[in-house]
A and B are shown apart, each in its own frame.
Chain A
Amino acid sequence: MSTAETISQVAGRFGPYGGRYVPETLVAALDELERAYAEAQADPTFHARLDSLLRDYAGRPTPLYFAERLTGSLGGAKIYLKREDLLHTGAHKINNCLGQGLLAQRMGKHRIIAETGAGQHGVATATVCALLGMECVVYMGEEDMRRQELNVYRMRLLGAEVRGVSSGSKTLKDAINEAMRDWVTNVRTTHYLLGSVLGAHPYPAMVRDFHRVISREARQQIQEKEGRLPTAIIACVGGGSNAIGAFYEFIPDKNVRLIGVEAGGRGTKLGEHAARFQGGAPGVLQGTYSYVLQDDNGQIALTHSVSAGLDYASIGPEHAALHDTGRAEYVSATDEAALDATVKLARTEGILPALESAHAVAECIRLAPTLPRHDILVVNLSGRGDKDMGILSRELNLKGA
């Protein structure tokens, strides 16, 4: 559409995507955040503090692990797992929360709000707020609170207030709406710690920068272990934060395939999945221009995924650009494939992936046998599956696993 093409020079654009589509009240806060982030980036003491917390508190660098039994059982490409699941709080989300938490401190904002889907970002935010002594309010859809109740309890234990959201589909999208309403109302005292590469500029670029460490480490680690770059990087894509972090440093390496895995849910009909590149069209949702699952009237569609963290109607704008230029490929994995992959990884490697990350594992299980043994796949294991025990026991009992 022409709108996108002619305004592609505006700050915060990825090709035609991204930008800033927000109520006027928030613009001053976004400008302030953009300035504060630019200053922090140029300040060695900010990086020193962040790096030290990432190392000593969160547990970086994370290992790049050769999954030998999984590789052997599939009989194709060698499979490595980037173990973001081993980070403190159990997922990659802590990378961004530490970065934004320190930034909020610099800006003198003592109240933090966040949205959460699977609860991993909420837990990471609550954790960082406890660490930095900040007030924390997390918005979470009531449907997600039901399916991720363990994380709700974790957040409360950490001192955060969890506010249930009962509007719309009661999932991540509705939690973001409510967080933005809070931010519009309390913008002078509050930092919105957005948990993915979504929303208005500068969020998509800033959150990506805080997760770039994933691919920076992985690129070095694979060269140390194999002396060459991998055939492909595979990551699940909800909003897309772990995927962009895992892809970013490999973007200039044209021979490395970048594969994003969306939630195929339980069918291809609108409302049955969260595969934005298969059923979506460019549009504006929650501050940014990207692919959006929507109906013919521009109403945002409901989505479905067994994993709360992938259950979202839009996708980070940088992924939209990587998709259109063909630099990254986007496929989908169904609920069933993700559940099967969870069991497979648990029983071959003793590693229980988060249901979100299991989508990436599912694509790896499909792809590896089709490739020669010389090839290398790196799967970003973005989170661990402890939080999913309730849903796994229900879903897998049904399947008799």
Chain B
Amino acid sequence: MRAEAGTPRRPLFEKALVRRAIGDSFRKLDPRRMARNPVMFVVEVGSAFTTALFLHAWLTGAGEAAPWFTLAVSLWLWFTVLFANFAEAMAEGRGKAQADALRRARKDVVARKLAEPRRDAKVEETASASLRKGDVVLVEAGDLVPGDGEIVEGVASVDESAITGESAPVIRESGGDRSAVTGGTKVLSDWLVVRITADPGSTFLDRMIALVEGARRQKTPNEIALGILLASLTIIFLVATVTLLAYSTYAVSATGRGTPVSMTVLVALLVCLIPTTIGGLLSAIGIAGMDRMVQANVLAMSGRAVEAAGDVSVLLLDKTGTITLGNREAVAFLPAPGVREEELADAAQLSSLADETPEGRSIVVLAKDRFQLRGRDMKALGAHFVPFSAQTRMSGVDLDGRRVRKGAAEAIERFVREQGGVLPAEARDRVDDLARQGATPLLVADGPRTLGVVHLKDIVKGGIRERFAELRKAGIRTVMITGDNPQTAAAIAAEAGVDDFLAEVTPEKKLEVIRKYQQEGHLVAMTGDGTNDAPALAQADVAVAMNTGTQAAKEAGNMVDLDSNPTKLLDVVAIGKQMLMTRGSLTTFSIANDVSKYFAIIPAAFASTYPELQALNVMGLHSPQSAILAAVIFNALIIIALIPLALRGVRYRPAPAPKVLRRNLLIYGLGGLLLPFPFIKLIDLALGALGV
């Protein structure tokens, strides 16, 4: 949530990106595009106007201000526009680079269309671009998947690195929650029969390209609201500067001194006052927010979703995979009466040697730690491994006539009975005890003899408790969702430090829970991957679907996590908040800046009528022209200076709102008030050195 979310992997100013952005800055001068951003549009109109004033003064020799001064002002106004365009172009460029990489994955391939959804059906070769929803295709080892789809038949390992950047292949199979494949990914082994679920142009890859390119970027509700505020400020300042011409004219006629304030100065004042800093960086901040999501390998379907993430007040977290590691770990051997602990450990280890599940491996590790029991070579022993199956619900080993088994309590009880033994009452109690504590008991038996219980425990992810505590400080409630019984759930919940938990949850109940929280006014975020999660995903305000999940889940969510890491939800919240904070902080900064600009420009603008106003020239700027130019130059340069902040976002750490506000007010409010004074002075000194 801290480091990884805030720091993009790509360096901020890449040479190629910068070169392209510079070109784009000029292309973006097109007034039709500028009009989308009222603040910068006003600056562009102002620049054009002062340029016209300069040309008029230059050609006729009768200007209202010195031609060189008008030229200098208009050049810096153009720079202001260009710098803002550059910021936007930089933000877009980073997305475009990503899009280009994706586009390479979207190759036109030859698809093998099947007449019927069977592997042995008749094959017709066709271009992937002509595939439509509902078509069925065969994809074999070495083929690129021709389009998004659902696996109808088959199991295969798939290389999804083109989309996820993750090089390890993943298993995809029909049925269940891993049945979706994405166009552009590559089947490495085996074969798949895939029913296409998206028409060309609307595939996942297409949508992803459009998103990272920002081609279909719509303003988010919050951007619209902020836009209204900025436009209002622009109108106020527009009126305040235009009316100044009338006031100045009155002052000249009433005092008989000086000349009315020049148009050039008025335009300069206007541009300095309107919130150009935030106006110029606003779209860059939004694009960069999306980009940070992409860097975190999360694909937000809209900027609205990113924004909503910042508002989330309830996180519904699946226990498995999010709060706990997906697997359990053996922590103790609890022998049955008359059995030594070492004997139990030995049998448990033996039955797990060939067991590649994390649980099995953890038993081997525990046996080694407790009794220095080394791994043994199963083949040398002549042992026969009995793998776990859904029917038997146990696994084990047959060796020298011994039949060692470990498994769920009922399964082992049945096994012991079949072997002619009886499960001791003590072992039975142990099992019940452990279940009550939220642990998973595993019985171990050697033939009819019950050896004891292995205590398997859910492993809460490292550091998760601290992260939940941080979220609590930021006012976000964490709710653990699990299908476990209430006792188990309560124990894990206490260990992980979530605010609340819901046990024995069915998908329908999930939906109900979300609705309940929303009724109370909360914004709810959740992750999900299964088809049965889809209704809940559709209902949640922020719904992150796992990329490994089904097509239905991905359609229902408004974000897709390409890494399929449910803990990422926490990063998503951080990125959303960071984006809003960046906007707010830069707006405050931009408005606070105005105070200094008044001190620079007001005494200068009316120097000829009211020289007394020099008393307000607190910075001691050396001439009216240099004062105005210094303010304009500062106003332009600050945009460039803040591009890194806009792209990276302001620092975010979860903390109570008043604390965050106090900090940001101090930095961006007070800082924005004071910072320009020394810098305008410095620019004035530099201008003086240049002879202005």
Asked if A and B are interacting partners, one says: no
- B residues bordering A, Cβ < 8 Å? none
- A residues bordering B, Cβ < 8 Å? none
